[in-house]
Amino acid sequence: MFNKPKIMMRCQYISGFTVAAFMATMTMPTTAHAGSFQINENSAIDLGRANSGRVTQTQDASIAYGNPALMTQFKRLTITSTLSYIDGKGEFVDLGSTDVLGQPLGNEPGDFFDNAPVPAFALVYPYNEKLAFGLSVNAPYGLSSTYEAGDIQRYQALGSALTTINVNPSFGYALSDTLSIGGGISLQYAHADLSSAIDFGAVCFAQLNPTSCGALGLTPQSADGELEIIGDDISFGYNIGLAFTPTDNLTLGAHYRSGIEHRLEGDAEITVPAQAQPLTATGAFIDTQWGAGLPLPGVLEFGLQWKATEALMLSANFNRTEWSDLQSLDVDFDNPAQPPTGEELFYDNSNRYAVGVDYAVSNNWTLRAGYAFDESPSQIDAPTARIPDSDRNIFAVGASYSGWDFAELSVGYNHFNFKDTAFDKLGPTNDRVLGTSKVSVNVFAMGLTKSF
């Protein structure tokens, strides 16, 4: 059982910041655009059909990540490089946020998401008619967000960035002309850099009395400091896949990617304003080491792809992400004056449903479109300023041109329409953030695929 933030607890300011931080982060991406902070930008081709062909498509080498069992259908060495750009916008409408004394908490934030590119790489090498090898490098999870020093969320979140890089060598093996299997091992690196403001005025009120704090110049919102934690980890996971092609026109695929248990460790740096230095006498608010478990979820997928005519191909995909593994997060500090803290998150498993269509308008041009509905694992009673997450509808279009000798060019576009999210949460010093989050995301992708 975890303790909720209470003003009388001496160092509880850390809880709301540190734990929520992990829920919001990742490398080059900008905003939560798949379930919570999951990232799907691995292929411009599949992005153009709303990722409805991730476990069944053989149009580019990203299948080395999506379902390595299908690598056995490649006849030549194939390389795919993809660059996506995620353009997210996050707005927050304040509905009366207050500090511990009931005073207005600060400024209504502007756009709190950071835009950035997301690269991905994949390779398929057919060793012989039955055996193929592959390699994929991508970023499967993450988010980056920034609030300003005067924003109402500052005591719950300032900056959030988590870089994850996944390197996945894999193999595929054909058991027969219609059935193949595949699998691989993932080496995943995670790096977190998370910050939050500390209301030392409110901390003083919790430890002393208003008169003594006033004499020190410490009243709520009058003396903000900052906590920043930086840490990283390398951990391993695995993936297995199955593909069945009963006819030349129909492919059925299934794939499971395991969860990965990270243990992030690093430095916690605390900035204390001059008038709040007496509060460090107990040993609290001193730079220290920290560690926290971050279990990233497993993903199970099923899909089919049907070539209805020479020109028309249809795809469908079902994805289930095991977010329920992420019920809570524990944070431990090496400094004994900073007790371990935690927060319950109440994540549920989430489902994603996608359909797509490819239409070859000529020998060189193929057009695509797709739609997906992506459930959020977040529960209404466990919001976080770092991930204003909600269910979303995804609309996709794309195209490929294969008329060049050096490579096939593909582009894709997704628009993510999020439901508005009601937000009501007590922070680490009983600041209350109350309002509504509004999020929208556009994703642009370009990819090159070359067969040798």
Task: Mark residue 123 as left, alpha or beta (left: phi above 0; alpha: psi -120 to 50; beta: remaining).
Answer: beta
Q: How confident is the model at residue 15 (pLDDT cuts 50, 70, 90)?
A: very low
Provide the pLDDT confidence category of residue 194 given band limits of 50, 70 and 90: confident
Q: Does the pLDDT value for residue 16 go beyond 60?
A: no
Output the pLDDT for position 422: 84
Tokens of 324: 């329920």
Question: Which two three-digit tokens encode residue 51?
Answer: 């990722």
pLDDT in tens, 45-72: 999 999 999 999 999 999 999 999 999 9
Instruction: Tell me what pLDDT residue 380 has.
Output: 64
In the structure, what pLDDT confidence band is assigned to residue 439 with cuts at 50, 70 and 90?
confident
Closest CA to 368 of 383, 358, 355: 358
Nearest to 328 by CA among 341, 345, 303: 345
Residue pair 451/83 in contact by the 8 Å Cβ criterion: no
Q: Give the pLDDT score at 173.
A: 98
Highest mean pLDDT among 67-81, 285-299, 316-330: 67-81
Radius of gyration of the chain (CA): 24
- Taking alpha carbons only, the member of 439, 449, 444, 345 closest to residue 143 is 439
Q: Do 414 and 442 contact (CB within 8 A), yes or no?
A: yes
pLDDT digits (tens, 9 = 90+) for 145-168: 888 889 999 998 888 888 899 999
Determine the average pLDDT of the residues in 376-405: 83
In the chain, domain spans? 13-451
Mean pLDDT for 164-190 is: 97
Distance CA 188, CA 293 (A): 14
Kindly tell me if the per-residue pLDDT of 241 is higher than 60: yes
Say yes or no to pLDDT of 128 above 80: yes
Q: Does domain 13-451 sit in CATH 1.10.240.10?
A: no
pLDDT for the residue numbered 300: 97
Does residue 4 have a pLDDT over 90? Answer: no
CA atoms within 13 A on the CB side of 165: 9
pLDDT: is 421 or 199 the higher one? Answer: 199
- Which of 3 and 136 is assigned the larger pLDDT? 136
Query: What value does the mean pLDDT take over residues 293-318?
Result: 96
**What integer pLDDT is reported at residue 381 of this predicted model?**
58
What is the DSSP code string of 376-398?
Answer: ----TTS--TT-----EEEEEEE
* Residue 110: pLDDT band with limits 50, 70, 90: confident
Statement: residue 5 has pLDDT above 50: no
pTM of the full structure: 0.87
Tokens matching residue 333: 């500090």
